[in-house]
Amino acid sequence: MKLSPFALTLTLLPAGQLLADTFERDQALKLPDVLISANRQVEARNDSSAANTVFTRDDIDRLQPDSVTDLLRRVPGVQVSQSGGRGSIPGVYIRGTQSAQSLVLVDGQRIGSSTSGDSNLQHINIEQVERVEVLRGSRSVIYGSDAIGGVIQIFTRRGGEQGLQPRMHTGFGSNQTWERSLGLSGGDERTRFNLGASLDETAGINRTHESYPSDGDHDAYRNKSLSLSLSHTLTEDVEVGANVLDNRGKSEFDSPFGRYDYVTDKSYQQQPYNDFNVSSVSSYIDAQINEVWKTRVELGHSENRETTLDKLSDERSVFNTYRDSVNWQNDLTLNERNSLMLGGDWYEDRINSTTAFDEDSRWNRAVFIQHRFQADSFSTELGLRHDDNQQFGSQNTWSGTFTVPLNPDNEVLLTYSEGFRAPTFNDLYYPDFSNPDLKPETSKSYELQWRSQLTESSRLETSLYRTDLEDAIIFGSNSRPENVASARINGFEAALKQELFGWQSHLGVAIIDPRDRDTGHTLARRARRTLSLDLDRQFDRLGLGASWQAVSSSYDDLNNQQPLGGYALLGLRSSWELNREIQLELKVDNLLDKGYSRALYSYQGSQYGYREEGRAWMFGVTWTPEI
């Protein structure tokens, strides 16, 4: 494989000097051994204190996932619980924490809904993604609210080498599923760009087993996506850029509960669907002030809009949230052993809804500082953050990591970190079902990591951790949220990357014990054991791969009365390069046609599992003509 000059530079530089040039961020996004999200700057993965998993565009093309959530199931310590196939709402649990307790970013911008707390990851089109980084463990010192369980950052596609590189992909598969995308990227020594558009459509599946006759149809899904990235070097020391991602479409779903009219004392059938829009816009300026000081300013705007409608009635509900943000970060290289990061964040959330919230906007501002020290026999990292929120006042968090290299191939990291999650607008201001006196949820986490380069082609990364949650928000007996719950999560996870007889293998294992500290019950929808294995090999022009994912049983409710069975899924994939421009892809998911559910729903006093797709296939053609 031919390496770019930048990749060769990374190979030759010692770890301490790796990625000193911040103006290679676009190129760094294409490399597997670097990390950006942990400290908002490019660094070597091995130099980061965060347990992390990285998927590059090459990984995405090899694994052929149909969504970002499909990709996340391969991360040790991450569980995904969906409610009925493609386009359905996912619950993403990082290290046993709930979805709203993990932060999701697109090109540095928060995309979660400030009303529900959902990130709507199911609507991020995988064809517009360059890279996904997953940080496991609290990063509230760097990002503030929501980053208790971890951080998921999605980077949109970037321009590559000089010249123009067009691409086109089309695919067809089960359930009348179509995938279509077009893209063009390129640039020169000063400017790089990427423009992409895609359209995904599927007739879907009937997501529920038992429901009203009106819900007996398949639930279709349609997603139109557009992405744009542009960066330009003004001088040797200054770069500016902008990134845009827009996903919008329609998602049908089942409502087995029907609609009840208290005036007429009648129940009515429904055929509901959502018109959605998840978008983000960001711009930045990077400047190398001098040999010591680098600075970066980011401006961002994101929108999470959803309108729920019904084919059988005139009902219509709107939940639109908007967020503006500013981030200023400064990185100071004090000397060979000491570096300092300090900066500030500001963002404001606003709501436009058919529901009359008691408050429809709030702001948050914060300052943070982190010091890193590198000695010959150990290194340290110490960070502190102060948030000031218009609703709940101030919150302080801090974290510290102590790293000891046992030898050139092994190191041990000991970390303590604090985190918090601000209540959502639904928690605070939803009419008749809210509590404006809520405090933020808080956490304390302890982690021991061991990282080992077992052989030249084998690497093992393990983590043993404990997270204590306090003031967790649950709905009390008065149907209003309260700060009354607490939880304790113990866990172990391991990731093994190895090459054997030409096969590339990625194994992820996680064991967790997530418990409510008051009742001793297992937290809902958290399986105690998960395993993910990917095997791939390239035979000249032919690529073959297989995936196996196993999830143990869990419970759908807090009282542990509604069990969810465990399951194992097997998938196969292949690719064939007809020539330098055309590649064929074929994959089969859930090869053994396993029936399983990740979530339950109630209907007429009984519990049923949401349907997930059975055996499903997809055939695709990718054309990358040379110009």
Q: Is residue 254 a contact partner of residue 206, using CB atoms and an 8 Å limit?
A: yes
The answer to whether residue 260 scores a pLDDT higher than 70 is no
Q: What is the dihedral of CA 529, 253, 98, 484, to 10 degrees?
A: -120
Give the model's pLDDT for residue 568.
97
**Distance between CA atoms of residues 90 and 229, nearest Å:** 27
Give the model's pLDDT for residue 209.
77
Q: Is 11 helix (H, G, I), strand (E, B) or coil?
A: helix
Q: What is the band of 3 on the pLDDT scale with cuts at 50, 70, 90?
A: very low
501-506 CB contacts, 8 Å cutoff, 24+ apart: 502/537, 503/535, 503/536, 503/537, 504/535, 504/536, 504/537, 505/533, 505/534, 505/535, 505/536, 506/74, 506/532, 506/533, 506/534
Model-level pTM?
0.93
Give per-residue pLDDT as tens, 195-224: 999 999 999 999 887 766 767 788 999 999
Q: What is the dihedral of CA 522, 524, 529, 532, to 10 degrees?
A: -170
Give the model's pLDDT for residue 5.
44
Q: What is the band of 161 on the pLDDT scale with cuts at 50, 70, 90?
A: low
The answer to whether residue 11 scores a pLDDT higher than 70 is no
Report the range of poorest mean pLDDT among 83-97, 252-266, 499-513. Answer: 252-266
Give the model's pLDDT for residue 257.
66
Give the model's pLDDT for residue 290.
93
**Distance between CA atoms of residues 63 and 612, nearest Å:** 20
Rg (CA), the chain: 24
Give the model's pLDDT for residue 567.
96
- How large is the average pLDDT for residues 280-285? 96
Structure tokens at 63: 């694994």
- How large is the average pLDDT for residues 398-413? 96
The share of the chain scoring above pLDDT 90, in percent, equals 75
Give per-residue pLDDT as tens, 231-258: 999 998 999 999 999 999 999 988 776 6
Give the model's pLDDT for residue 127.
96
- How large is the average pLDDT for residues 9-25? 45
**Distance between CA atoms of residues 2 and 53, nearest Å:** 24
- How large is the average pLDDT for residues 174-192? 93
Q: What is the band of 475 on the pLDDT scale with cuts at 50, 70, 90?
A: confident
Give per-residue pLDDT as tens, 132-155: 999 999 999 999 999 999 999 999
Give the model's pLDDT for residue 84.
84
The share of the chain scoring above pLDDT 70, in percent, equals 93
Give per-residue pLDDT as tens, 333-388: 999 999 999 999 999 999 999 999 989 999 999 999 999 999 999 999 999 999 99
Give the model's pLDDT for residue 40.
92
Give the model's pLDDT for residue 544.
98
**Distance between CA atoms of residues 342 and 286, nearest Å:** 15
Give the model's pLDDT for residue 9.
43
- How large is the average pLDDT for residues 52-57? 96
Query: Nearest-CA neighbor of 128 among 38, 40, 223?
Result: 223
Q: Is 593 helix (H, G, I), strand (E, B) or coil?
A: coil
Q: Which domains does the chain have, with CATH numbers?
A: 5-623 (2.40.170.20)
**Distance between CA atoms of residues 40 and 53, nearest Å:** 16
**If you write DSSP's letter for every residue of 534-553 in order, what string do you get?**
EEEEEETTEEEEEEEEEE--
Pairing of strands 102-106, 150-156: parallel
Give the model's pLDDT for residue 15.
37
Report the range of poorest mean pLDDT among 13-27, 178-192, 524-538, 553-567. Answer: 13-27
Give per-residue pLDDT as tens, 567-624: 999 999 999 999 999 999 999 999 999 999 988 887 777 788 888 999 999 999 999 9
Q: What is the band of 271 on the pLDDT scale with cuts at 50, 70, 90?
A: confident
- pLDDT averaged over the chain? 91
The tokens 């009925």 sit on which residue?
84
**Distance between CA atoms of residues 159 and 184, nearest Å:** 8
**Distance between CA atoms of residues 111 and 349, nearest Å:** 11
Give the model's pLDDT for residue 266.
64
- How large is the average pLDDT for residues 168-189? 95
Give the model's pLDDT for residue 285.
96
Structure tokens at 206: 């009937």
The answer to whether residue 431 scores a pLDDT higher than 80 is yes
The answer to whether residue 308 scores a pLDDT higher than 50 is yes
Give the model's pLDDT for residue 478.
72
